[in-house]
Amino acid sequence: MRRLPRNRSRALDVGCGQGRLLRTLAARVGDVTGTDVDAEMRRQATERCARLTNVQIVDSRLGALDGPYDVVTTIAVLHHLDDDVPTAEPTMPYDELRAVVGRVLPGARMRRRLGFRHTIEWERRS
């Protein structure tokens, strides 16, 4: 959370699950949207965030969401996305993945973590 962009009025949590991250984001971002393909996860997230007036849980595909967003989070989600969303295969070499990230998110910084886990930091330019 300490690396959130300064200008952060809207956030999207893709694969929001039970809504734990939504609650954390809600204290730091003006409007927070969570989406998950699993109806039970959306129900739990809705219950967890019921008192948070700046959080909404939606059942929407990524392409149907009303952006833009200043913050987008995905935790253990990319391998669950449909084929219409471009993702990198786990076999992609790190340098090639870094090049793809650089094309999609200009100025992004990527850091290798354990296994095929990476942290990508990017702030949209004003």
Domains and CATH numbers, the chain: 1-82 (3.40.50.150), 88-121 (no CATH)
CA 100/CA 88 separation, integer angstroms:
9
CA 90/CA 93 separation, integer angstroms:
8
Q: Which amino acid is at 53?
A: T
Question: Tell me: the pLDDT tens digits for 4-26?
Answer: 667 678 988 988 999 999 999 99
Taking the model in full, what pTM does it have? 0.67
SS3 89: coil
Question: Tell me: the pLDDT tens digits for 62-98?
Answer: 777 787 888 888 887 766 665 555 555 556 677 777 7
